[in-house]
């Protein structure tokens, strides 16, 4: 299941949600300001980030600049606690599933989140005959409905 970490005033977050809805891809939204981010979630984001804190934390954040915070000097536990207390330092949106991780909205890169079943469905719909077309479509949309969308 895709999770997206968002903020209400974030235009890129609205674009991601709209794109996912338009492609009928189920997701779970986590508003970083109204939901306490669990330690396990933040650890996962840090682990999946190719460049550590650079990928997910805005070092230009007012909190970081004004307090002259050196993230590199923090232990992982201190960093996680700091993020929990100051979620505004996170870049947004953060999109994650079992295999993929993306920060920000990029119209090309987000296509990687199209499920394999839908990619096969698209391939089938582009061919003259695909007997699996009906079953693939039905299975995918049944799962979509179960996810609450």
Question: CA-CA distance, 132 to 135, in Å (whole number)?
Answer: 5
Residue 102 CA to chain centroid, in angstroms?
A: 6
Cβ–Cβ < 8 Å for 4, 16: yes
Residue 86 in tokens: 């100051």
User: Of the listed 10, 13, 124, 130, which one is catalytic?
Assistant: 10
Q: Classify burial at 58, counting beta carbons within 10 Å of its beta carbon; exposed 0-12, middle 13-18, buried 19 or more.
A: middle
What 8-state DSSP symbol labels residue 107?
Answer: T
Strand order in the sheet with 101-103: 27-31, 2-6, 94-96, 101-103
Q: Give catalytic status of residue 13 as yes or no.
A: no
Question: CA-CA distance, 26 to 52, in Å (whole number)?
Answer: 27
Question: Catalytic residues, which ones?
Answer: 10
């Amino acid at each position: 299941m895709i999770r997206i970490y968002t903020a209400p005033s974030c235009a890129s977050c609205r674009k991601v949600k709209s794109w996912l809805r338009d492609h009928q891809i189920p997701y779970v939204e986590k508003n970083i300001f109204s939901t306490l981010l669990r330690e396990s979630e933040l650890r996962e984001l840090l682990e999946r980030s190719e460049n550590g804190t650079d990928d997910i934390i805005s070092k230009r954040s007012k909190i970081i600049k004004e307090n002259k915070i050196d993230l590199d000097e923090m232990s992982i536990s201190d960093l996680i606690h700091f993020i929990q207390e100051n979620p505004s330092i996170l870049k947004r949106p953060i999109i994650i599933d079992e295999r993929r991780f993306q920060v920000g909205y990029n119209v090309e890169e987000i296509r990687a989140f199209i499920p394999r079943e839908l990619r096969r469905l698209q391939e089938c719909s582009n061919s003259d005959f695909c007997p699996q077309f009906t079953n693939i479509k039905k299975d995918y949309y049944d799962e979509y409905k179960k996810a609450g969308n």
